[in-house]
Amino acid sequence: MAGVLDGKALATRMQADLAQQVKMLQEQAGRPPGLAVLMVGDNPASAAYVRGKERACAKVGIASFGKHFPTETTQAELEQVIQELNQDEQVDGILVQLPLPDHLDSVALLNQIDPDKDVDGLHPMNLGRLVRGEPGLQSCTPAGVMRLLQEYEINLRGKQAVMVGRSILVGKPLSLMLLAADATVTIAHSRTPDLAAMTRTADVLVTAIGRTELITPEMVKPGAIVVDVGINRIEDETGKARLVGDVQFEAVKEIASWITPVPGGIGPMTVTMLLHNTVWSYCQRLNIAP
């Protein structure tokens, strides 16, 4: 039976360490790190994510500069706000909560963020740094996956890794991080023919495709490390909602060597890496040792 890669426990420890670090750094810098989260509209899931991020900031001593805009806010208005935050010396990180309403161009907005304040790691300059293997702000979910694997001393060198999903948020940056750790990486996706044949080759199987319990035991190589980034909301016959991943957890854990749960796996690590990125940016901007 698989060991559980407990992201929640690691996130708790990392946040406690960050709180201590921020307390010491603030004495040198004279101010706390600052994170601005921009949210447009009233998407309930986005609102819940933003509240979670603000609570996490408060826990570690990061100042929150949350800004909530009505749905009809224009592209120009948001770009102006981002430019002001780029210049604000109290703000070390800027995050635009996705998805945005349809009339807004999210790529254009993300490109307006100062790359050195881009704590989501989605600016072309930060993605370019990742491709080149240079230091920079890295996308939070992929960085959280790598940190969790590191915590459990899982050596990726020479491993066959299969990444199911090709998004710019997870699939592409995580593939680059796995490659940098000397894994041999294959990217699969919803159009891949005979997905099961490919996933069965994986020593490390990562899925971020957003399809409820897509990965069955027959698709997993015995002894594989299975990382489930998917978050899918389902309702039972009584109408009660719960979260499940892309992997049939109970069945797959019988044959995997390690597996992440949903919830409690990668989700807490994503928020923690956002806090980590904000503190890293703060140190870089103020030229103080982290």
Listed by start position, the domains of the chain span 30-119, 140-268
For residue 254, the tally of other CB atoms under 10 A from its CB is 12
Place of tokens 């060991």: 3
Of the residues 92, 114, 118, 120, only one is catalytic, namely: 120
Superfamily of domain 140-268: NAD(P)-binding Rossmann-like Domain (3.40.50.720)
138 a catalytic residue:
no
The span from the CA of 180 to the CA of 94, in Å, is: 27
Q: Which amino acid is at 1?
A: M
The tens digit of pLDDT for each residue in 14-55 reads 999 999 999 999 999 999 999 999 999 998 888 888 999 999
53 a catalytic residue:
yes
Alpha carbon dihedral 140, 141, 142, 143, in 10-degree steps, equals 40
Helix axes 171-180, 140-151, angle to 10 degrees: 40
Q: What's the burial of 26, exposed, middle or buried (CB within 10 Å: 0-12/13-18/19+)?
A: middle
Helix axes 266-286, 140-151, angle to 10 degrees: 110
Q: What is the pLDDT along the chain (290 residues), one digit of tens a residue?
A: 899 999 999 999 999 999 999 999 999 999 999 999 999 999 888 888 899 999 999 999 999 998 999 999 999 999 999 999 999 999 999 999 999 999 999 999 999 999 999 999 999 999 999 999 999 999 999 999 999 999 999 999 999 999 999 999 999 999 999 999 999 999 999 899 999 999 999 999 999 999 999 999 999 999 999 999 999 988 888 888 888 999 999 999 999 999 999 999 999 999 999 999 999 999 999 999 87
Residue 117 pLDDT = 98
Superfamily of domain 30-119: Leucine Dehydrogenase, chain A, domain 1 (3.40.50.10860)
215 touches 207 (CB < 8 A): yes
- Positive/negative CA dihedral, 145, 147, 153, 157: positive
Residue 65 in tokens: 């500069």
Residue 205 pLDDT = 98
Q: Confirm whether 30-119 and 140-268 share one CATH topology.
A: yes
Cβ neighbors of 205 (< 8 A, separation 6 or more) are 161, 162, 164, 199, 215, 220, 221, 224, 225, 226, 227
Residue 45 pLDDT = 83
The span from the CA of 279 to the CA of 68, in Å, is: 23
Residue 43 pLDDT = 87
39 touches 51 (CB < 8 A): no
214 touches 234 (CB < 8 A): no
Residue 238 pLDDT = 84
Residue 136 pLDDT = 95
120 a catalytic residue:
yes
Residue 233 pLDDT = 87
Helix/strand/coil for 38? strand
Residue 236 pLDDT = 81
Of the residues 97, 112, 138, 248, only one is catalytic, namely: 97
Give pTM, 2 decimals.
Answer: 0.95
Of the residues 53, 117, 159, 172, only one is catalytic, namely: 53
